[in-house]
């Protein structure tokens, strides 16, 4: 695939369920003890699997903030028959993170009284997400993962697996992620959260019987898309191209005119599309969890690490992966860090097949 084709593909809205179909399954947890001290009861973890389990070939894929359990759809460049994570060779598992809104227990789920949690849903942490996955591992009879992997928020979960449960993780691949968020990353998430909190329909988080705060959630997602891509990616696709055919703005007040630039139309579309599949409370809960996560050391881990980063990723810049690599080496672990020169920004980890694929095949070679 040429750079031009890959750049164009970056901006296409692909069907989330179009490839590698897998039945959505549920693991039930009677009680889940959270870091906060709260106990969640009757917890559901939604998950999907691909391939066949042979006892030592299981790979756990952890999703990013807006992802779900259908990893073969959102990471179709990496997962599938004959791909780097080969579903003909490996047993691939992906679960929706606790606190999410795609089948696992989260703010929109029903509590013990049969009403949606809303504002009563407790704070969760990345550590809580991993503990829920431990329960899923036991449910599936997987004592050790051949690899735990993920990008962005998914990378944080993989780090936590390798830090806290190293005996259960042979290999750990972390791409476009960090040991802890910087002030800038926290700032982006806080602006998105404030867009939701200040939406008049938010109602303190108890909006499920009313109109959802879709306006605030859409604005938060628009901000996210601005941070996920690089300047060159935006310029190559949109530049200052106008949405209207004759290039002449509409008459009347500027704020009532049709969107003038193509980038405006793109961002508005992405924001509206996101509100159709995601819950505002889940965004608040999960984004706060990753902002609060911090891994200061990988001491005690015996996993073999692969870290990948991208030169154009200004949201999760390369030096954050370098820091993780140095942390792994300091802990006496085998580790490799590869900085990939592609112009697609943070979303490059979802789009790159060649460089990540080559590194993965090396990591997972017999």
Active site residue 296: no
Provide the CB-side half-sphere exposure for 90 (13 A, CA). Answer: 27
Cα separation, 14 vs 182, in Å, equals 31
Cα separation, 237 vs 259, in Å, equals 17
Among the options 309, 346, 347, 352, which is catalytic? 346
| Sheet bearing 39-50, strands edge to edge | 25-33, 39-50, 91-95, 58-62, 145-151, 169-175, 304-310, 335-340
Is residue 140 within 8 A of residue 52, CB to CB? The reply is no
Report which DSSP code applies to 360: H
Is residue 35 within 8 A of residue 129, CB to CB? The reply is no
Cα separation, 216 vs 233, in Å, equals 26
How would you classify the pairing of strands 25-33 and 39-50?
Answer: antiparallel
Among the options 152, 177, 179, 312, which is catalytic? 152
Helix, strand, or coil (residue 287): helix
Tokens representing 187 are 């700032």
Concatenated DSSP letters of 298-339: -TT---EEEEEEETT-SSS-HHHHHHHHHHHHHTT--EEEEE
Active site residue 313: yes
Among the options 313, 335, 347, 352, which is catalytic? 313
Active site residue 22: no
Active site residues: 152, 313, 346
């Amino acid at each position: 695939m040429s750079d031009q084709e890959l750049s164009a593909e970056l901006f296409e809205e692909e069907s989330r369920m179009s490839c590698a179909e897998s039945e959505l399954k549920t693991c039930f947890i009677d009680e889940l003890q959270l870091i906060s001290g709260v106990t969640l009861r009757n917890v559901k973890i939604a998950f999907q699997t691909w391939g066949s389990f042979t006892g030592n070939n299981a790979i756990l894929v952890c999703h990013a903030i807006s992802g779900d359990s259908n990893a073969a759809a959102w990471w179709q460049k990496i997962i599938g028959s004959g791909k780097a994570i080969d579903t003909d060779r490996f047993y691939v598992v992906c679960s929706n993170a606790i606190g999410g809104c795609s089948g696992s227990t989260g703010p929109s789920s029903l509590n013990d009284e049969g009403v949606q949690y809303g504002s009563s849903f407790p704070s969760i942490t990345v550590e809580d997400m991993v503990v829920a996955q431990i329960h899923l591992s036991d449910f599936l009879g997987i004592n050790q993962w051949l690899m735990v992997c993920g990008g962005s928020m998914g990378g944080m979960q993989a780090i936590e697996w390798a830090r806290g449960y190293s005996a259960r993780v042979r290999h750990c691949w972390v791409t476009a992620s960090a040991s802890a968020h910087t002030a800038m990353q926290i700032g982006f998430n806080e602006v998105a959260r404030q867009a939701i909190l200040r939406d008049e329909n938010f109602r303190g988080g108890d909006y499920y019987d009313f109109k959802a705060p879709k306006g605030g959630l859409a604005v938060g997602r628009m901000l996210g898309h601005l941070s996920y891509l690089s300047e060159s990616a935006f310029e190559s696709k949109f530049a200052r191209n106008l949405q209207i055919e004759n290039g002449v703005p509409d008459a009347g007040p500027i704020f009532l005119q049709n969107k003038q630039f193509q980038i405006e139309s793109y961002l508005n579309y992405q924001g509206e599309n996101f509100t159709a599949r995601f819950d505002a409370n889940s965004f608040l809960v999960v984004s706060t969890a990753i902002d609060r996560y911090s891994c200061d050391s990988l001491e005690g881990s015996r996993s073999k690490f692969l870290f990948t980063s991208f030169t154009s990723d200004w949201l999760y810049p390369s030096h954050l992966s370098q820091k993780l690599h140095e942390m792994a080496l300091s802990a006496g672990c085998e580790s490799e860090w590869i900085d990939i020169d592609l112009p697609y920004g943070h979303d490059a980890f979802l789009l790159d097949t060649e460089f990540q694929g080559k590194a993965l095949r090396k990591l997972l070679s017999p």
